[in-house]
Structure 1
Amino acid sequence: MHRIRFKDRDVLRIGEDPGDLYWLPNSSGGLIIQWIAADSLEQLLEFGRFVAEQDSWTEELDIEVVSTSWRLMDSCGFDDDEQPKVDLVLERGLYRVSATYQQNDSTMATVYQLKHQA
């Protein structure tokens, strides 16, 4: 995971490999799920929620949000390219980004938790 500036925007680059990204907001931030393998979107989202509940992260990064306009990207690209991106507005403050890769018999995903530190 890397925080970078790209074309006057704060970007959280969450990986080297391309993959569809899904943003599930919640009251303290949200989950980012990068789809590697799953039979359906519903299966992927259920798996991502389960992984987050286990609270067993392999990587963590603290970031300070000063500019509230952020972009999540799977890798660094261009504004008009086809790489997965999620634009979101975050409340200012300190956030912890936690990440883990997990798999079971039918689903593989990298799950990220973006959590506002009160």
Structure 2
Amino acid sequence: MEPLRADMFEEICPSTLNPIRFGGDKWAGLVIRCLEDGPRRYSELRVPLHRVTAKVLTRSLRLLERDGLIRRTEYATPVRRVEYALTPLGRSMLDPLRVACEWTADHWDELLDARESTAAAGNE
């Protein structure tokens, strides 16, 4: 499996501007995208999600696990390691997530304009 790229989610890209939330928090959709090709270790997730603090990423993973969207598997041998993988329920979110990302890309300029006008008005 290919390693996750550090620039998978650039600072300003449709995935970070998406107003539609998946899995309960801002980062859950990005975590789901990171897991779409198969299980990943926490350290692998940290590469594209480097802007997310360890505490917040851990919380997102726990929320996704609580909701049945990901599965956490701990291996004791030969060296202790933990992997996260999408469950069938989590995998079923990939198509809606793609549609939301496409919608965000289609409305990119409008979303940016709205955010900029809100910021200019001091309502961040």
Using the size of structure 2 for normalisation, the TM-score is: 0.28
- Give the number of the structure whose residues are more often strand, by fraction: 1
> Which of the pair has more CA radius of gyration?
2
Q: Return the structure number with greater relative CO, CA threshold 8 A, min gap 6.
A: 1
Using the size of structure 1 for normalisation, the TM-score is: 0.29
